[in-house]
């Protein structure tokens, strides 16, 4: 499962564009990775500002909540 470090995100949508299973929602100022995530890492790699990372590597304090699909 991939998580979001929300204060890094600038809401550009690159991650949504490469996601093969359409599991990322981008709102005006909120990014949500849904539980249908398959851990393919494409969004992690394409993000220009290192907003996304495997959930277990993100410190809880800066991690946004994830929701079900």
Residue numbers of the site for other proteins (CB under 8 A)? 10-20, 22, 26-28, 41-42, 45-50
Tell me how far, at minimum, the Cβ of 32 lies from other proteins, in Å: 12
Query: Over the Cα atoms of the chain, what is R_g?
Result: 10
31 neighbors 51 (Cβ within 8 angstroms): yes
Cα–Cα distance for residue pair 43/53, rounded to 1 Å = 9
Give the nearer residue to other proteins in terms of CB position, either 48 or 60: 48
- Per DSSP bridges, beta strands 30-33 and 2-4 are unpaired
Q: Tell me the closest approach of the beta carbon of residue 29 to other proteins, in angstroms.
A: 9
Q: How far is the CB of 63 from other proteins (least distance, A)?
A: 19
């Amino acid at each position: 499962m991939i998580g979001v470090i929300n204060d890094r995100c600038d809401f550009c949508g690159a991650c949504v564009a490469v996601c093969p299973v359409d599991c990322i929602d981008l709102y005006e100022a909120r990014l949500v990775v849904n539980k249908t995530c398959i851990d393919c890492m494409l969004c992690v790699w394409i993000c220009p500002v290192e907003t996304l990372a495997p959930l277990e590597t993100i410190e809880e304090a800066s991690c946004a909540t994830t929701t079900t699909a």
